[in-house]
Amino acid sequence: MNKRILLEDLGHKDYKETWDYQEELFQSILDLKIKNRREGSQLETPNHFLFVEHPHVYTLGKSGDMDNLLVDENVLTEKGAKFYKINRGGDITYHGPGQIVGYPILDLDNFFTDIHKYLRFLEEMVILTLADYGLNAERSEGETGVWLDVGTPFARKICAMGVRASRWVTMHGFALNVNADLGYFDLMIPCGIKGKAVTSLNVELGKKVVDMAEVKQRLLKHFEVLFEAHLISAKTQV
């Protein structure tokens, strides 16, 4: 089992361009798995982890409800935002500047073949990272993602998740609000869950800006431990 994961930080990148790149990596792993099965070979399948920060964009999962987007596309254009229907699970989600988006494209045959466990590990990675900042984040029963003050009138979501998997290969992932402009969440019903607020790490910490690079490093530290993986930066790969 190959537990090495190639890490790429794409910086600021258009959603559709990143989605196409994800699909390319995802399909290459699938093709290799199919080849192994057909030919009885055991070629090693690669794993990838992409970090990215998108321009303003709204994405609707394949089971999502368009009614959860509260404005028409003309308003989105005025706000400088794009909209895409995509092939992950979940409902509507916003991505934008100040948000850390992570796309693990893994062959879970290299780790464990359990999508429920995979999602819980992604949540745990975020929960442990937020604990590093003194926040008591947790799961909300029946609602994928990471929340604060669950079970109270002040419950608010800080990290959304949605994945796609085929033959145990994953794509899409998580979006953690770090320095996000929360006004953009007012244009939708986040994840289709009514009556729940959204927050950002800088708001919770009472800071104007939180160091994004530091948050990424903390996320990766917990990811490596949880998945018993070894992350290799694309810049240093040989």
Asked if the structure places residue 162 within a domain, the reply is yes
Domain span at residue 20 reads: 4-233
Q: Could you give the C-alpha distances from 48 to 41, 87, 89, 162, in angstroms and in order?
A: 22, 19, 20, 17
Which residues does residue 147 pair with via DSSP β-bridges, in sequence order?
138, 157
Helix (H, G, I), strand (E, B) or coil at 120: helix
User: Quick one: pLDDT at residue 77?
Assistant: 83
80 belongs to an annotated ligand binding site: no
Asked if the structure places residue 206 within a domain, the reply is yes
Domain of residue 39, CATH code = 3.30.930.10
185 belongs to an annotated ligand binding site: no
User: Quick one: pLDDT at residue 194?
Assistant: 58
User: Quick one: pLDDT at residue 236?
Assistant: 46
The pLDDT tens digits for 102-160 are 999 999 999 999 999 999 999 999 999 999 999 999 999 888 899 999 999 999 999 99
Give me the phi and psi of 64, to 5 degrees please: -80, 165
Both tokens of 106, joined, read 């893994």
164 belongs to an annotated ligand binding site: no
Q: Could you give the C-alpha distances from 6 to 3, 49, 50, 125, in angstroms and in order?
A: 10, 6, 8, 18
Catalytically active residues are 191
Supply the DSSP symbol for 36. H
162 belongs to an annotated ligand binding site: yes
Asked if the structure places residue 21 within a domain, the reply is yes
Contact yes or no for 133/201 (Cβ under 8 A): yes
98 belongs to an annotated ligand binding site: no
Full pLDDT tens readout for the chain, 238 residues: 899 999 999 999 999 999 999 999 999 999 999 999 999 999 999 999 999 999 999 988 877 788 888 888 788 888 889 988 888 877 788 999 999 999 999 999 999 999 999 999 999 999 999 999 999 999 998 888 999 999 999 999 999 998 999 999 999 999 999 999 998 888 877 655 556 789 999 999 999 999 999 999 999 999 999 999 999 998 644 3
User: Quick one: pLDDT at residue 195?
Assistant: 61
State how far the Cα of 150 lies from the Cα of 67, in Å rounded to an integer. Answer: 25
User: Quick one: pLDDT at residue 237?
Assistant: 42
88 belongs to an annotated ligand binding site: yes
184 belongs to an annotated ligand binding site: no
State how far the Cα of 177 lies from the Cα of 201, in Å rounded to an integer. Answer: 6
Count of the separate structural domains present in the chain:
1
Model-level pTM?
A: 0.93
Q: CA 104, 110, 113, 116 torsion: positive or negative?
A: negative
Asked if the structure places residue 220 within a domain, the reply is yes
Asked if the structure places residue 238 within a domain, the reply is no
Asked if the structure places residue 73 within a domain, the reply is yes
